[in-house]
Amino acid sequence: MSDAAHPKPGHDHPDAHAGAHGSMGSYMIGFGLSVILTAIPFWLVMTGVFANPQATAIIIMAFAVVQIVVHMIYFLHMNTRSEGGWSMMALIFTLVLVVITLSGSMWVMYHLNHNMMPMSQHDMSQMP
């Protein structure tokens, strides 16, 4: 049998590792961005810059989303070219499932809370 019929392990796809590894510079950029994106929300909470806690929570969530994107790009090396775009499609599918699950859970919990709590016109002390 010829060597062409049985490729060597690890060498079956010439473009399998294209863009798979980052350089030291890209890792340092990702690390720096991660530190900054962690330090700013920490500073916001510790100093109480915003009087409204809801505004602080929204800003912290925005920083969290940006940090997720930074990690996916600089550390997980996800882009539209890797693995023929399938990793990006898997990510999009996962995000859709997470959004559906979280929004459905919030909807159910809101309606359970709304429907299970006693109404103001009903006084619990007069119930048998």
Task: Supply the pLDDT for residue 110.
Answer: 85
- Amino acid identity of residue 81, one-letter, is R
Task: Supply the pLDDT for residue 123.
Answer: 55
CA angle 88, 93, 94 (to 5 degrees): 95
- Amino acid identity of residue 128, one-letter, is P
CA distance 72 to 30: 10
Q: What is the pTM of this model?
A: 0.60
Mind listing the pLDDT tens digit for each residue in 24-71?
999 999 999 999 999 999 999 999 999 998 899 899 989 998 998 899
Q: Whole-number mean pLDDT of the chain?
A: 80
Mind listing the pLDDT tens digit for each residue in 4-15?
555 555 555 544
* pLDDT(79) > 90: no
Mind listing the pLDDT tens digit for each residue in 59-75?
998 999 899 889 988 98
Band (97; pLDDT cuts 50, 70, 90): very high
CA distance 42 to 31: 17
Task: Supply the pLDDT for residue 4.
Answer: 54
CA distance 48 to 54: 12
